[in-house]
Amino acid sequence: MTGDNSKKIPNAFISMTYKRRRLATTLLLVTIAICNVFASIMEDSIRESLQELDGESRLLALSELCSLAHADDNMDHELRCIRDYLDEAIRQNDVESAGNATVLQLSCYLNYECLDSISHYLPIMLERMKKNKTWDYYYNCWDLAIQSDIFHDKLESALREAEKMYRDAQKRGSDYGIGIALFDMGVIYQAIGKTTEAVGLFEKSIGKLKNRADITMVLSAYNYLCASLDGLGRYQRILECADEWKSIIDGYEAKAESMGYTPQLGGKRMYNLLAYCVAEIGIGNYEKAQEYLDAARECAKGRSNSQQYKLMQIESRYYGAIGRYEKAIEISKKNIGLLESVGDSVSVATMKTALADLLFKSGNYEEAAHLYYNLNPVTERIRAEELSRRLDDLHTAYEIDTLTLRSQATRTKLWLSIVTIVALLVILILYVAYAHKLKDKNRALFDIIRERDNQLLTLKVVAESDNRDSDIDGEDILFRRVSDMMRNDMIYRNPNLNRESLAAAVGSNTVYLADSIKNNTGMTVNEYINRFRLSHAADILSKNVDISIGEVETQSGFNSRSTFSRLFRNHFGMSPSEYKIISREKANKN
């Protein structure tokens, strides 16, 4: 038993919530459908009724026209009906109906293999649904693109998109999106022969989809699940799944009928009945299998060729199982002819292999050998084409990955550049603010410095004693002598002046000199000398704004630029250059 290989994708049923809104309109349209036997008459009747309908009633009527056009197998006609439906939904600002119409439009493109149209419209439609937050329709459209890749054997691309959809749906907390993504991944795993993994994915998908009003996706999941179980020979589990499957269909039908709507579920019941049939064949209960097969034939009357193919496939399998090989071979050949007419070479090869097996079992060894002989090159060609498509798909995926990585690298570089520029701007703004604040602080410091008595280093007791030497001890006299020499002779300008040379200049020893300065200023001899040098440097910078810092350093008695700058900043709270800038500002103002 295999999944539905049809190229024709059935439209989704109109949602149950939508039907609840206008029961009276539904009854009107159902009455029209019952009274008109032929589809063309039904369409004419609905179009005639459109003149009297408005709002939700009109949208429901246009949706019914889309369903009728879908069964007509005419792409242009179907697209016209869908666009009328979409235009009306947009005019009424009904985002739910617009989403439904969008899914129908993409389904139509996929059914008629208009892949360019899907590529063109899909991004636009996804963006519109994202804006409207119609997430169910959003994931339906995304699913159609994945199904297109699966149908054209681009399995790697399809799997990547399904995994991407799964992550997106998880992020949004959408069980419906998660369910569809799991279903798509199950289909892909089934196609590449990982049947056990496919079963697990389909079961998880059903868990996410089974409680929804729209049963289309969950029924498809059951169909594929039973096909995978068939491949594993788990026939009892197929019966359990078929029971669950049937209960969903029955529940949907009962709910619809309670609302006055009779859904057409023949095709969906047919697949369910065929699942029962396959399980009974596998178990060996052929009498029960025939009952299910007869019921499936009734449901298949008037159905599409794709559904007839599925029915004939199971019929051939049934007759082969009970030993009626001629009947099985007859049905198998008829089925092959049907598949060849629609150009499904893969299914033709599968059915021819099954036919060869039937011929061999029936004792027709010559015809079986001939079919095997002719089938091998076809099978090899199909496998080669499949391999080529897979390689092309992998190459495309590789190119996409490469472009994605390049794009990500470009985006990363762009963001890093933006972050760097922003960071630099912030640093610049902070620096300007800091510089402005620092300049204000430096101005205030400058005023304080200029107002401070530059005779900071005079002996406090000298002023207090009115220059009466009788009140000054020997240590203070020595300090006074040193201070006078420093101020008047400016011996501090000698870069070699130190404790020894200063003691010699005033006729004292270094210990006595150091005690005298320490007791009167709290400084060491070197600190005392440097204080005079710094005061002199500040005086030069205040009076001569054009002088260089190097000249100030030399004239003040420093022999090291770094020492001068460090001591100046520590003492005045700003660098010599900053002090010079403030001095120039003051000079310009004056």
Q: What is the DSSP letter of 494?
A: S
Residue 454 CA: distances (Å) to CA of 448, 538, 564:
11, 10, 19
Where exactly are the structural domains of the chain? 1-133, 460-589
Q: Which of 157-161, 378-382, 507-511 has the lowest mean pLDDT?
A: 378-382
Q: How many CB atoms lie within 10 A of CB 238?
A: 27
Higher-confidence residue: 411 or 286? 286
Higher-confidence residue: 462 or 450? 450
State the pLDDT at residue 245. 93
Q: Which of 47-56, 59-68, 148-157, 338-347 has the lowest mean pLDDT?
A: 338-347
Higher-confidence residue: 272 or 308? 272
Contacts of 317 (CB under 8 A, 6+ apart): 1, 278, 281, 328, 354
Q: 3-state class of 42 per DSSP?
A: helix
Q: How many CB atoms lie within 10 A of CB 380?
A: 10
State the pLDDT at residue 60. 85
Q: For tokens 């027709």, what's the residue?
A: 364
pLDDT tens readout for residues 121-180: 888 888 888 888 888 888 888 888 888 888 777 888 889 989 999 999 999 999 999 999
Tokens representing residue 488 in the block: 């008047």
* Angle between helices 175-191 and 135-151 in degrees, nearest 10: 10
Instruction: Spell out a b/e string for 101-136, using b for 16 or more CB atoms within 10 Å of the CB, else e.
Output: bbbbbbbbbbbbebeebbeebbeebbebbeebebbb
Higher-confidence residue: 267 or 297? 297
pLDDT tens readout for residues 512-525: 888 888 888 889 99
Q: What percent of the chain has pLDDT over 90?
A: 20
For the segment 187-193, the average pLDDT, to the nearest whole number, is 88
C-alpha–C-alpha distance, residues 540 and 549, integer Å: 10
Beta strands in 392-500 (DSSP E): none
Contacts of 421 (CB under 8 A, 6+ apart): none
Write the single-letter amino acid at 182.
L
Mean per-residue pLDDT over the chain, rounded: 78
- Taking alpha carbons only, the member of 577, 539, 578, 584 closest to residue 440 is 578
The domain defined by 460-589 carries CATH number 1.10.10.60 = yes
Higher-confidence residue: 446 or 206? 206
Taking the model in full, what pTM does it have? 0.56
pLDDT tens readout for residues 536-553: 988 888 888 788 888 999
pLDDT at residue 355 above 50?
yes
State the pLDDT at residue 288. 94
DSSP string of 256-316, one letter each residue: HHHTT-----HHHHHHHHHHHHHHHHHHT-HHHHHHHHHHHHHHHTT--HHHHHHHHHHHH
**Beta-carbon-side half-sphere exposure of residue 98 (alpha carbons within 13 Å):** 19
State the pLDDT at residue 345. 65
Residue 150 CA: distances (Å) to CA of 190, 191, 271, 548:
11, 9, 21, 81
If residue 568 lies in a helix (H) or strand (E), which one and from where to where?
helix 561-572
Which range is most confident: 160-169, 365-374, 456-465? 160-169
State the pLDDT at residue 204. 95
C-alpha–C-alpha distance, residues 432 and 430, integer Å: 5
For the segment 357-362, the average pLDDT, to the nearest whole number, is 83
